[in-house]
Each structure stands twice: as structure tokens, then as C-alpha cells.
């Protein structure tokens, strides 16, 4: 059985590897969803961790360090959650309001 030829690079055949410039471009909707998750995550986590850190420890001398630590942890969690949950939230909202999704 002969391996399939996927792409051509500098005149030679590459087996099983698609050169970067020949790979499929990311669909605009998927790109939007990724960027939206990053931006929304940053905005929400920035505000929420600031408020929660201020409530829990006040504006103590180590406030910025505690806030930055909380932000880092929360951002890593929030972005994937937003990426996967936002489409579901849009569908639920559309159904609640009787709008097509």
C-alpha cells in the first residue's frame, strides 16, 4: 500500500504533511468565536477578579499580586468555558425570546 501524497513543497513531495501555506484557512465564524472568547474572557475576568479580590482582602499592600494571581487562574478557565458555553447561551436566549437562532 502506497502512502498518499498530501502536498508539494519546493518541488519535492511531502507525505502526510500539509505545508502551512497550503493548509485550509480558518473559517470566519470560528475565528470570531475564538477572538470573542479571548476578549470577553479578559473583560469579565478583569472586572470580576478585581471586585472579588478587593472584597476578600481589601486594598492591602499585596493586592496587585493577589489580583494578578486570581486573574491568571480565572482567565485560563474562563476562555474555554466562554468558547464552549456561549453558543449554548445564545440558543437558550433565542428560545426564551422566541427568536430564530
Residue 28 has what pLDDT? 86
Residue 100 has what pLDDT? 79
pLDDT along the chain (101 residues), means of 10: 51 55 75 93 97 96 97 96 93 92 67
- Delimit the domains of the chain by residue range: 26-96
Residue 12 CA: distances (Å) to CA of 20, 22, 24, 76, 78 = 15, 14, 20, 41, 44
Residue 53 has what pLDDT? 97
Amino acid at each position: 500500500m502506497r502512502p498518499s501524497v498530501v502536498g508539494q513543497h519546493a518541488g519535492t513531495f511531502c507525505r502526510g504533511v500539509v505545508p502551512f501555506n497550503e493548509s485550509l484557512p480558518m473559517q470566519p465564524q470560528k475565528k470570531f468565536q475564538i477572538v470573542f472568547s479571548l476578549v470577553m474572557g479578559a473583560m469579565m475576568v478583569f472586572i470580576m477578579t478585581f471586585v472579588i479580590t478587593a472584597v476578600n482582602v481589601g486594598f492591602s499592600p499585596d493586592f496587585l499580586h493577589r489580583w494578578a494571581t486570581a486573574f491568571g487562574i480565572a482567565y485560563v478557565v474562563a476562555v474555554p468555558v466562554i468558547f464552549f458555553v456561549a453558543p449554548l447561551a445564545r440558543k437558550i436566549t433565542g428560545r426564551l425570546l422566541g427568536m430564530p437562532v
